[in-house]
Structure 1
Amino acid sequence: MEVRLRGRGAARWVTIGFLAFGALFLVVGLVLAGESVAFQSDAERAPGTVVALEWRNDSSGASRKQRENDEPAAYPVVEFTSADGTPRTFRSSTGTNPPAYEEGEKVEVLYRADSPEGARIKGFASLWLLPLIFGGIGLVMAGVGTALAMVGRRRRRAPAVRSAPTASTASAS
């Protein structure tokens, strides 16, 4: 399948699209990073224990063939006791394959006192994976958009430079 863009207008729209989506993804990544930083600074800390690994295959929107090839991910189920002495259990929203944690493993739990059901394991994936994914995609898209803009700018400037008379051409006539 071949796609051809005609004219400078289409190339400009592609460039603007890459820059706009790149900026949007960067902003989302920065917002998610800010939320992670705010969560960590406000969070209570408690020791926890991984009591189970819940294996799930979350490719709900994928095609049947893709779902058959996908391997399930292990989502840790963690028990901890909040500062008020209440035992609590939560399932991590981040799953991995191979599992990042083992049953019985001790972990540090971060939670807000006013909403302990939103607890997270203090780990790289649960705190920084989404900000890095969105930020990384944003950087790549913005980089492609910037490169396209620079190439387009050079192409627009090149004919003007070539058509200007040079000193040797002007003296020969």
Structure 2
Amino acid sequence: MSKILLWIGGIFLAFGLVFGGIGGWVWWSDRDLANNGTHTQGTVIDLASSRDSDGDVTYRPVVEFLDASGARQEFTGSVGSSPPSFSRGEKVEVIYDPWSPEQAMIDSFTTRYLLPLAFGGFGLVFGGIGGGLLLAMIRRRQIVARLKASGLPIQADFKQCYLDTSTRVNGRSPYRVVAQATHPATGKLASFKSDPIWLDLTTELEGRTVKVLVDPARPKRHFVDLSEWVSEDEEA
């Protein structure tokens, strides 16, 4: 399970860092332009349309303005919407770089903060999921280490080795072993599920027992010890 959590958690965390980095860079760039740029008034002269893969059309404003030297400048807004947020002929506040007037943006909350908030939000979600999975991996390793060191060993009857299709890594799903035995802490018949592995052990374990390490203080905590049949490379 540690390897799967490491793989999936690492992917989510990487995506989170990328999205968060893009959001931070866009926010910093817009903030720098807002603090050091020149303010003027522009006019929406057109609406540039684009169609996404679902066929939905969004519109971005095309704005013209005169820079400090009186030269005409034109730019297309970075944020599109449907229906359009602006109309042709509408006057808008513009911020532009006096050294590179083609670097300009509409001075509005949507233009300045929507993209940083969107990318930052995606980064927070993906990063949170990835970080949570990695923390779960670390926690599981700590529990297994304690069970191996001081867990109560019992012998459980093998019941099945099934394909866990709820998890997929590179198109593959791992297997899990299920065994049953009377739990020493509760006195009741309990099922014990192994961490995922890349082997189908049905033939090897049919009619046999497997060692399970349990925590008497926390009956739900257990570790199915398959080290006799599974190498570290075959652990998922």
What amino acid sits opposite 2:79 in the alignment? T
Structure 1 segments (4+ residues) deviating >3 Å: 164-167
Task: Map 1:23-172 onto structure 2 (within 5 A).
Answer: 23-54=17-48, 56-59=49-52, 62=53, 66=54, 70-159=55-144, 160=146, 163=151
Q: Which runs of 5+ in 1 are unaligned?
A: 1-6, 168-173
Q: SS at the partner of 2:78?
A: coil
More helix by share: 1
Q: Which moved more, 1:82-91 or 1:35-44?
A: 82-91
User: Aligned in 2, Cα 1:42/1:144: closer, same or farther, shift over 3 Å?
Assistant: same
Deviations 1:84-120 (A, max 9, x none): 1223333323221111112222210111112112221
Q: Which runs of 5+ in 2 are unaligned?
A: 153-214, 218-236
Q: SS at the partner of 1:142?
A: helix
Shift of 1:144: 0.3
Q: Report the Cα distance in structure 2 between the residues aligned to 1:34 and 1:157, rounded to whole angstroms.
A: 40
Deviations 1:110-155 (A, max 9, x none): 1111211222111233322332222111111110012112322332
What amino acid sits opposite 2:143 in the alignment? A
Q: Which moved more, 1:155-164 or 1:125-134?
A: 155-164
Between the aligned residues of both structures, percent identity stands at 36
User: Aligned in 2, Cα 1:112/1:71: closer, same or farther, shift over 3 Å?
Assistant: same
User: Aligned in 2, Cα 1:8/1:85: closer, same or farther, shift over 3 Å?
Assistant: same
Instruction: Give 2:186's aligned residue.
Output: none
Q: How many residues align?
A: 152
User: Aligned in 2, Cα 1:85/1:32: closer, same or farther, shift over 3 Å?
Assistant: same
Q: Output the TM-score relative to the length of structure 1.
A: 0.75
Larger radius of gyration: 2
Shift of 1:43: 0.8
CA RMSD of aligned residues (A): 2.4
Is the 2:2–2:141 contact (alpha carbons within 8 Å) kept by the matching residues of 1? no
User: Aligned in 2, Cα 1:36/1:17: closer, same or farther, shift over 3 Å?
Assistant: same
Instruction: Give 1:14's aligned residue.
Output: 8
Instruction: Give 1:3's aligned residue.
Output: none
Shift of 1:166: 7.3
Deviations 1:40-90 (A, max 9, x none): 111100011223323x2243xx3xxx3xxx232222122222111223333
User: Aligned in 2, Cα 1:71/1:11: closer, same or farther, shift over 3 Å?
Assistant: closer
